[in-house]
Amino acid sequence: MKTRIHKYIGPVVLAGTLLLTGCSKFLQESDPSNFTIDTYFTKPEHARSAVNSIYASMRDPMESGFNGAAWTMREFATGLANTDLGQAVNSYFVKDLINTSDNDYGNTYWTSYYRGIANANLAIEKIPGINMEEKERRRLLGEARFMRAWYYFQLVRMFGPIPLILKPVTLDSPDLRPSQASVEAVYAAIVADLQEAENAGLGWIDLSGKASLGAVKSLLASVYITMAGYPLQKGAPYYSLAAKKAEEVIDSKQYRLFKTYADLHNPAKKNLEENIFMIQFRTQIIPSNWQVAIIPYNKNISAYASETGGIYATPEFVQSFEANDLRVKEKEFFYTSYTLETDRTKVVELGGYYIYKHFDEAANSSTGNSDLNWPLIRYADILLLFAEASNEVNGPTAKAYDAVNEIRRRATLPELSGLGKTQLQEAIWRERWFELCYENVTWYDMARLRKAFNVKTRQFENYVGHKFTYGPVVGERELLFPIPTLELKNNPNLKQNKGY
């Protein structure tokens, strides 16, 4: 039997699920109004549609509501985030370090990202057989490989040894119930995909939000610096590779920091300047879906019907910024007050530091329908990544100082100078914690460095044994998240991570 998909759906549903077969005569009959895998991948527009479907799974963890939001998982794992959403038990499981494999946040990441990988695998297998212009074929395959690498990079850092599936799966496929690959094997596949994408003819920038050469090189830099640290500990050669790729992005002159932090959440600045790669949303079509999570719980300040108080900063973290840091001034990275929705002349004190860097003013003040993208790779990240990697290899250099001081100048802070290698290293780490907070970056840094930021001493200490300001102490098991229970039940070849 040939599996069919209705032509208005395209390959999205097909590639996101296992291909099921059966013996029913009815199901085996041909229907010209339906597509099969064999009949769909025949035209250039089918190739474009197939690649477009790969991006969709990035949006799933962003869905926010009164049950919480999967995207907050990696923020609560840092110990730097709080919540007022009592019914979102999954948030508390992570925040209080009592997480289990039943947590739906982890399951959302696992199922959504493997669906994205399935879409990528199908595109990579089928597009070479389509009669189309060769340059466009190369670009589409480059996008597909970039996205497969992106999904695997997230999954391997969250879950450690994971199944490595690089071909479409059917009921008779050896990958139907796959075993876990080593972390090193997953990284080797990631690097191979990104190197292919790097040579696929992609432009440096893509204003529509698709994968670009800048995104490929930036992600490769992030992969290399992670491989240099834990768990692979490949050290200096990979810090050097990371610095080289980040430097290529910097030297391209295609990107620059925004002049103001307001541009971080300005819909007019999507996919421009500082925004190297983002999750794409569009008001009234696929609106941004995390606004309700960053609005204080039922303070009646927003045009949104739901105000969940799903996540906000701990006061200790905000108070650990330098005194004159512009980022902690009101309505830069955080906000502590806002006007009443029914009377904008009245100001409501919110009682906490809520996340303003993702806040959509138009949506919250009037429309209730956000047009913001979610940032995945910012130029600020690449500057700091270069500074860190370069310092690890060469010690303090003028170019490393220039990179980190670009970040500090925008924050109206004095430039760094005259530091030893270890001093500069920790100064760069601090800038990463402050600049990239609440963008799903910090926990990844903690895991690769095995370091946590003590907000009281403003020093870095070992990740395992680090005590959150509200009490819990990080154990070795928190180096990874648990593999979801449902996956373990359906696949006896999977082994749970240590401690869960």
Confidence label for 387 from pLDDT (cuts 50, 70 and 90): very high
d(CA 371, CA 283): 4
For 119-162, write each residue's pLDDT tens digit. 999 999 999 999 999 999 999 999 999 999 999 999 999 999 99
> What is the largest distance, in Å, between two alpha-carbon atoms of the chain?
78
Angle CA 174–180–181, to nearest 5: 95
Asked whether the beta carbons of 386 and 403 are under 8 A apart, the reply is yes
Q: Average pLDDT, stretch 400-407?
A: 98
Q: Average pLDDT, stretch 396-400?
A: 98
The residues near 262 (Cβ < 8 Å, ≥ 6 apart) are: none
- What pLDDT was estimated at residue 174? 83
- What pLDDT was estimated at residue 170? 87
For 272-308, write each residue's pLDDT tens digit. 999 999 999 999 999 999 999 999 999 999 999 999 9
pLDDT score of 12 more than 70: no
pLDDT score of 383 more than 50: yes
pLDDT score of 334 more than 80: yes
3-state secondary structure 234-291: CCHHHHHHHHHHHHHHHHCCCCCCCCCHHHHHCHHHCCCCCEEEEECCECCCECECCH
Query: How much of the chain exceeds pLDDT 70, in percent?
Result: 93
Q: Average pLDDT, stretch 184-200?
A: 98
Kindly give the pairing relationship between strand 334-340 and strand 68-69: unpaired
Confidence label for 66 from pLDDT (cuts 50, 70 and 90): very high
Helix intervals (H) in 355-453: 361-362, 379-394, 398-410, 421-435, 442-449
Confidence label for 34 from pLDDT (cuts 50, 70 and 90): low
- Residues forming a β-bridge with 456: none
Distance of CA 200 to the CA centre of its chain: 23
Nearest to 153 by CA among 197, 122, 123: 197
Radius of gyration over every alpha carbon of the chain, rounded to an integer in angstroms: 23
- What pLDDT was estimated at residue 175? 85
Taken in order of first residue, the domains within the chain and their CATH numbers are 4-80+97-201 (1.25.40.890), 281-372 (no CATH)
- What pLDDT was estimated at residue 172? 86
- What pLDDT was estimated at residue 18? 29
**Cis amide linkage into residue 231, ω under 30° from 0:** yes
d(CA 392, CA 243): 9
* SS3 label, residue 418: coil
Q: How many residues does the chain have?
A: 500
List strands edge to edge, sheet with 312-313. Answer: 81-82, 312-313, 343-355, 334-340
* SS3 label, residue 168: coil
- What pLDDT was estimated at residue 7? 30
Say which amino acid occupies 297. Answer: Y
- What pLDDT was estimated at residue 23? 36
d(CA 350, CA 338): 7
Q: Average pLDDT, stretch 260-268?
A: 97
d(CA 469, CA 78): 11
What angle do the packed helices 213-228 and 236-251 form, to 10 degrees?
160
The residues near 403 (Cβ < 8 Å, ≥ 6 apart) are: 250, 383, 384, 386, 387, 390
pLDDT score of 35 more than 70: no
d(CA 428, CA 431): 5
pLDDT score of 381 more than 90: yes
- What pLDDT was estimated at residue 40? 83
Given phi > 0 = left and psi -120 to 50 = alpha, else beta, which region is 73?
A: alpha
For 164-190, write each residue's pLDDT tens digit. 999 999 888 888 999 999 999 999 999
Confidence label for 37 from pLDDT (cuts 50, 70 and 90): confident
Query: How much of the chain exceeds pLDDT 90, in percent?
Result: 90
